[in-house]
Amino acid sequence: MYEQTGRYYAFFGPHATITPVEEKFLAHWSNGKHHALDFGAGLCGSALLLARFGMEVFAFEPSPLIAALAMDRLNREGDLARSITLLEGPTEALGESFEADFILMRSVFMLLNSDQREAALEAVFRH
């Protein structure tokens, strides 16, 4: 689905924010965690929030188009954004030696077909 809608993510830019309710939710569930994997990171709004919580964040975006927009957004932010590791590529290739104690997979899951969902779940399980 990204192939059809991805270019429109640029309209959100820095305004793709996390709501106060989402922030409270993420703060609660990430409390005491140190290493986060944000799978399907999109424009890295969640990754930025998790980094602000003091976590080491590995943001994975399977869409090259969205990853380019995310990199642009991160480059416009401060030092905190540059502390996020952003990787893009096919889900099956996600094999970094990164072990997360907090995994976030937000709306990307609904954009995937059954085979892609299975690959995504296998990828996050490895980490």
Whole-number pLDDT of residue 5? 58
Model pTM above 0.85? no
Amino acid (one-letter) located at 99: E
Residue 16 has pLDDT above 90, yes or no: no
How much is the pLDDT for 53? 96
CA–CA distance, 125 with 21 (Å, rounded to integer): 27
**Structural contact between residues 26 and 49, judged by C-beta atoms closer than 8 angstroms:** yes
How far is Cα 33 from Cα 11, in angstroms, rounded to an integer? 32
